[in-house]
Amino acid sequence: MTVAIIDDEQHCIDHLAHLLQMYAEEIDMVSFSSVEEAIKGVDALRPDIVFLDVQLHDRTGFDFLSSVSHRDFNLIFTTAYEKYAIEAFKFSAIAYLLKPVDRDDFEFAFQKALDRTEQAQLNDRINVLLSNISKKNSPKRISVPHKEGYVFLMVTDIVRCQADVNYTHIFTSDGKKHTVSKTLKHFEQLLAGHQFFRAHNSHLINLHFVTSYHKNGYAILSGGTKLEVSTRRREAFIKACGEL
């Protein structure tokens, strides 16, 4: 297989090349240091896996993704910590590695990239990523894995998330329920900063859909759903609703 590294810093290319040494007999490695080189090279070589840096001179890895003709590869971003970009990767369910790249993190991401099912709906997930990156203050979409691939949901359409052991049921404003093999904690962390509140061990609520709170400890959502708010979280819940 062919692995492409797109990075404008030679020491970063060298580090990834060193980590890839254990697969030397199985892969051909190429590298590109600019968006222009990468577009031509990837379109010509059609690599199986691409490691893509976020910042490439005065351009970005997102410019590369917007311009490349073929996206038939598994994608792993490499980046220095940048909160907004990290959120975008998580929302789109695209793998990323923080620089300096740790060997264990690299191995986990690379092994996942070897699984062709990880390429499922990659074009759609990249489009989610590019949309979220280009519209910083606009409503975001998230890529939610399910048994047949991914479903793409507007964050503002998610009414609530409900825990079911290691699964989560996501209820949307169109009346649909999506069951995902992720814990509620995963969605609590993913949706932090987007007006969601963990009102109970079993419930994560989009505060924009709360219509009333009753002093016996229940919140009423638009549509009439009644959900318990745990005793220790009631004061914080009322405060959060009042701050919208």
Q: Considering 119, 134, 149, which residue would you say is the last residue of a domain?
A: 134
Q: What's the pLDDT tens digit per position in 53-72?
A: 999 999 999 999 999 998 88
Q: What is the structure's pLDDT at 160?
A: 98
Q: What's the pLDDT tens digit per position in 107-159?
A: 999 998 988 777 778 889 999 999 888 776 678 999 998 877 899 999 999 99
Average pLDDT over residues 10-35: 96
List CB contacts of 184: < 8 A, sequence separation 6 or more.
Answer: 161, 162, 163, 168, 198, 201, 202, 204
Average pLDDT over residues 191-201: 95
Domain identity same for 147 and 56? no
Domain identity same for 129 and 215? no
Q: What is the structure's pLDDT at 133?
A: 85
Has residue 236 got a pLDDT over 90? yes
Q: Considering 105, 134, 163, which residue would you say is the last residue of a domain?
A: 134
Q: What domain range includes position 185? A: 141-242
- The number of distinct structural domains making up the chain is 2
Domain identity same for 75 and 165? no
Of 13-17, 169-173, 212-216, minimum mean pLDDT range: 212-216
Domain identity same for 127 and 101? yes
Domain identity same for 81 and 180? no
List CB contacts of 100: < 8 A, sequence separation 6 or more.
Answer: 15
Average pLDDT over residues 10-24: 96
Q: Considering 98, 115, 134, which residue would you say is the last residue of a domain?
A: 134
Higher pLDDT pick, 168 / 85: 168
Domain identity same for 100 and 199? no
Please list, residue by residue across 97-135, b when 16 or more beta carbons sit within 10 angstroms of its beta carbon and e when fewer do.
Answer: beeebeeeebeebbeebeeeebbebbebbbbbbbbbbee
Domain identity same for 169 and 101? no
Domain identity same for 79 and 104? yes
pLDDT bracket for residue 96 (50, 70, 90): very high
Q: What is the structure's pLDDT at 81?
A: 67
